[in-house]
Every structure is written in structure tokens, then in C-alpha cells.
Amino acid sequence: MKFEEGQWRILPGTEAIYPATVTDCVVEPDALTITGYDHVIKDRNDYLHGTIITARFSSPAPNVIRVQLTHFKGRRDKQPVFDLDYAATNQAVTTGQNEHQAWLKSGNLTVCVPTQGAWRYDFQRDGERLTESDSHAVGLFTQNGQTYIREQLSILAGETIYGLGERFGPFVKNGQMIDSWNEDGGTNSEYAYKSIPFYLTSQGYGVLVNHPGKVAFEVGSHHVSRVQFSVGGHSLDYYIFGGPTAKDALDQYTALSGRPATLPDWSFGLWLTTSFTTNYDEETILANIDHMEELGIPIRVFHFDCFWMRELTWCSFLWDKRMFPDPAGMLRKLRDKGIKVCMWINPYIAEPSPLFAEGQQHGYLLHDRDGNVYQVDHWQPGLAFVDFTNPAARAWYAGKLKDLLDMGVDAFKTDFGERIPTEVRYYDDSDPERMHNYYTYLYNQTVFELLETVKGQGQAVLFARSATVGNQKYPVHWGGDNSSTYESMAETLRGGLSLGLSGYGYWSHDISGFNGTATADLYKRWVAFGLLSSHSRLHGNTSVRMPWLFDDESVDVLRFFNQLKNQLMPYLRAVAKEAHDHGWPILRAMTLEFPDDLTCRTIDMQYMLGSALLVAPVFSPRGEVNYYLPAGEWRNLFTGEVTTQAGWHKGKYDYFSLPLWVNVARGDQWECLKATLQIKN
């Protein structure tokens, strides 16, 4: 969001106030506060008709500093707030001051503020400047009748910015304007299903804007040497995670916001679905599963998409008995085959659903400002929204799902949760703007906690689309509606890399694309990428994704990479433990593992699967790949070839291969891979 017109002018229709002079500095044992006045003080007349903004600095944990900017302290706090560990205390924090400045030190991270004079503050790590908020960085603005407060943190020359959720555009965020506001926009747009107001930088620190509603980011765009973030209202709250590496910053951030749960081994196996609008019944489902098994491609999870329920009734949570006359019996047959079952759901109730009247009667649905049930004719007729701020509504919704779990269901695909209206009234009077993104947290939390209660900890699995800060605790998440093209395959990877740098440990995507039907060539290339991701699902829109529908070789390719992933399971378990313990993603951007390699900072067409395995998918029907090996000893997983030649490499690959290299220096991971796959010496 822009407020100024270059360096010298304010945009038309905008009023701006900047703190100019520090008039007070209060140092406490565990915090410090400065007061900024919008006048430069020359005489006593300058103390009249002014505005003050305060900045309070504290530390919940070592190497983490919280900043709270406030104008008008008498305003009531709005709900909801992110589910952070606000009770965390840092016994090691120290404060101090001298004649000219005061400071708060937390671990290796320090914030320094002036005790008087011009308003500014800077953050240092080990005594060197990390970032700063300089003149006119903090501002209070009125635009189109609305009030906004903003911060700008400096970017060093050559510094690169990452994260901000699952973003399908350029991997490096410098130069972009990004609104943290969930939308159902597909993967070929600037919109995001998972908006996370958290970013990482190549300097090895992270920033979380602690605001669940819309946060407008200008990343080296409005002011080319600053990251700007602004929110509506009179206060702004953010945290700086000092690193010193991006891995450390992710560890610090997820310690505060939550770590990914432990997942069962079966979730890492191959998922097959009915796909969206395809015709299916018990007979076709069982026949497809049997054929996959006959071909040597075992399925670990079978997913029933939307039409397990009768059309126009989503969600009713009732089986369509025309297609599934004996659902309990069918689920027993799947269970006897050792296959887990996932069911599609969403948080909306259509008017024709038998649940609509029940939800309306008991007040379980969102209301408009006149007290009516809020309804829209979108997706389903007369659609209403479950009000997850109402504890009784959460219990009611979970109770419907428990009936399915009791029948033999194992997991849920928690679809949707992005287009949440703001013209509504919540049970607990939450602010609708702040609830737009946060709705998905309550939705997925409700379902995941039910699964943990029924199945036990370590056995709960979602396949979720929408997310915000904290949703990483409720995995897995998938990338949404991509398309059957190489370009969409690349944008899908960019989204996964960005989400991984936003604190999400697990991530998946629709193999060969959701929209359209892939060529046999693309299908086989995407299978390799999909089976070398944390979770692997064959899913589509108007067509199914069984390999024999593409060509005979597709069967062999899927079998090959499915077997490879099964062989990799001991390694993936070790990497998954890192996700649970530290918040590090399984699918990692190159720069996360090689932060000192300048080339890795911009690479977004290859990745590290864990810390030891480099994967470069094939993004061309020619089968050619340009890929980069950082310095070190690398061993080809397929051939046993060893190289220490760092730099760019080029090769041409058949459908049973791609650049797949092991970093031998990665200690235990290398030994695990070597023992598991019996790599040639």
C-alpha cells in the first residue's frame, strides 16, 4: 500500500504524520519504550497541537525482539490475535543506557534507541547493523477516510527477501507489492491460499507482523531500500527473529507460533483420489485400486472428493446412497487392503443441506449485520458459513465428522476457507477483517484436534488448502488449483519453496496439475517431482490420474518413483523429525541449506529434499535440465557418479531419471541414504 509519491510528496488525498523527535525514553529491566513526537522541538510552542507515537521493545525469547507501535493507547484491543506463545519469558534479556542511547539486548540481537533527539532505532546482531527504522519509516496515515500505521525496515545492498506464504510468483520478493489476504485465485495469479505475514532475508533474520487481518507489504517497491508493512488502525506489532541463519530464524519463529505435528508413516505414501467432477462409485473405485495393485503400485491413501455427498448439498456429511449404498462395507474393504481413507470437506453449509436448518436454529452459522444468516449463491446454493468462534458450533461440526471417523475414515481434506466475508457478525464479536485470514486457523484446528482425539497424537492428518500463521501445526497442506502445464509445475514449486520459508514443514501438490489433463510427457515428469515431495497425491478436476490412461510407460514411471520414495522413508522420517523439532521444511529452497552461496539465493527450479538430497525436476519436454551444484562432494543417487565440480551443469534425462544428487558431507543423512538405497561406492 502506497502513501507517498516518491521521496518528497504525499499521495493526493493522503495525510501523513511521522514521529520526528524522541521526547521520552523509559528503560525497564526487561523492556524499553520511546515516545516520538511529530514536531522538531525549537521552543515551547512546538509542544502544542502534536501527535505522539510510542515504540515498546521487549523480548519473549533469546534472539527475538518484539516491537509494539501505538497511537491512541486507549483503544480497545481487537480479536482475534494469532495463537502465539505470549506467555514466553526471556530471563536473559538485558537493558541499559548512556547519555545518548538506550538498548535492549536479547542473545546476540540488540535494539538501540536514542534517549533524545531525532526518532530512529536500529537492530544489531553481534554489534553489526542488521536492519533499522530510520527517518519517516514509521508513519500514521489517513487515506480515503481510513487510518493506517506503517513501518519500514531497511534492506542492505544485495539483500534478498523470501516467504510471505505460498506465493506462486517470483521466488525472491524484492520489488513486489504483496497483500497478506487469503484468496481462492489458483496458482497462476498474484493471490494466495496461504498468506503468512512473515518473511526471511538472506541476512539470516525473519520478521513476523503480528496482525491476523490484511497486512500490505511493499518489498523494496514503494521505497526501494526498505521493506514496508502497514495495517489498518492505530497500532502495529511485529517481531524480529535474529537468526543468525535462516534456519535459526525459522526455529525461533516456529517456537513462538507452533511446530508442525508428527505425522504417521502411511501419510508419506501414494495418495489416489476420485478427482473432482469425475463419475465414480464403489465399483469403479475398487477396480482402480485393484488395478494399481496388480501393476505393483500400492496405494496408501484413497481420497473421496466432493461427490461422495449428493450434489448441491455440500456440506451434508452424508454419503450419496445412489453411488454408495453401503459406505461402511466399502470402507471395510479398503481397510482390509491396508488403505487409509480421506474425505473431502469444507466449512460451508449449502441451503439444501439437511444441516442448514439445524445450524440456523442453534446459531451455528455466521450472521450478517442485520441478524440474518449470511448467505451467498457461490459454489453451492444459499451457502452459509460455520461460525467457528462459537464453541458449540465447533463441537457440532466436529460431531458430524466423528460419525465418519467411527465409520472408518482416517483423514480429511479440509478444502476452502479463503473467501471469508467481512460483512458479518461473529458469535464472539471478533473483528471481521481480522477473522478473514484467521478463520482457516479455527477451521483446521477444529478438525485436526478431533483427529488427534479419536486417532491419537501422531496419527492426525489433514490435506488443507487455506492457512495463516500457526496452521503449520496442522499438516499437511497442498498447493491448490494448478494446471496441466510445465509453467504451472514451475509456479507450483515456487509456491512450495516460499511456503517452506514461512514455517511450513510439509507440503504437497496435485501431480500433473488439477485443471486440464496433462500429456503423457508432462505426467511422467511431474510424477518424479511429486514422488520427491513430502506428500504425493494423484488428483485432477475433470479427469482422473491413473497412469494407464496416459500411456504404458507412465505405469512404469509411477511404479519406479513410488518404489524410490518407499526406499527413502528412513531418510524422510529423519527429515520429518527436523520439521517437527525446528520448523524446517522437508522441501527446502537451496538458499536455506547454502546461505553463503550467492548463486543459491535466486534458484527456484530445484530444491533440497531435506539437507542431503538435491532434486532438479525436468521442466521441458526436451528432457534437458540446467542445475546447480554448490561446493562439496556430490554423489548421483542413480549412478553412483561422484563429482566435486561446483557450478552449473546440463544434462538430458529419460523419464526414469532426473538430477538427484546426495551431498556426501551431510553426515548422518548420507549414511542413511547410502544404507537404504545401497548406493554404488
Residue type, 153: L
Task: List C-alpha distances in Å: 520 to 164, 274, 491, 653.
Answer: 34, 19, 20, 16
Extract the C-alpha cell encoding 547: 497412469
- Best CA proximity match to 183, nearest among 492, 488, 480: 480
Q: How many other C-beta atoms can be found within 10 angstroms of the C-beta atom of residue 679? A: 17
Q: Cell 521526547 appears where?
A: 23
Q: Indicate the Cα dihedral angle 189, 161, 85, 234, nearest 10°.
A: -80
Q: Rounded CA gap, 293 and 297, in Å?
A: 5
Residue type, 149: I
> Does the annotation mark 452 as catalytic?
no
Q: Which residues pair with 70 in a beta bridge?
A: 54, 235
Q: Which of 38, 122, 251, 481 is catalytic?
A: 481
Q: Cell 553489526 appears where?
A: 128
Q: Rounded CA gap, 250 and 237, in Å?
A: 19
Q: 188 Cβ partners below 8 Å, 6+ apart?
A: 168, 482, 483, 487, 488, 491
- Best CA proximity match to 232, nearest among 502, 432, 445: 432
Q: Given CA atoms 482, 485, 489, 491 in this order, what sign does their dihedral have?
A: negative
Q: Rounded CA gap, 344 and 486, in Å?
A: 27
Q: Tell me the backbone φ, ψ of residue 594, rounded to 5 degrees.
A: -130, 65
Q: Rounded CA gap, 459 and 442, in Å?
A: 20
Q: Which residues pair with 149 in a beta bridge?
A: 140, 231
> Does the annotation mark 418 as catalytic?
yes
Q: Rounded CA gap, 416 and 218, in Å?
A: 27
Residue type, 510: D
Q: Cell 554404488 appears where?
A: 680
Output helix, strand, coil percentages for the chain, rounded to the nearest 5: 25, 30, 45
Q: Given CA atoms 392, 397, 398, 399 in this order, what sign does their dihedral have?
A: positive
Q: Which of 151, 418, 491, 593 is catalytic?
A: 418
Q: Cell 515498546 appears where?
A: 56
Task: List C-alpha distances in Å: 393 to 65, 67, 144, 384, 406.
Answer: 37, 36, 37, 13, 20
**Tell me, what DSSP letter sits at residue 11?**
P
Q: Rounded CA gap, 559 and 563, in Å?
A: 6
Q: Which residues pair with 15 in a beta bridge?
A: 142
Task: List C-alpha distances in Å: 190 to 174, 491, 501.
Answer: 14, 11, 18
Q: Which of 415, 433, 491, 510 is catalytic?
A: 415
Asked if residues 141 and 147 have their Cβ atoms less than 8 Å apart, the reply is yes
> Does the annotation mark 283 as catalytic?
no
Asked if residues 192 and 182 have their Cβ atoms less than 8 Å apart, the reply is yes
Helices (H), 217-376: 246-257, 282-294, 327-336, 354-362
Residue positions annotated with a catalytic role:
415, 418, 481
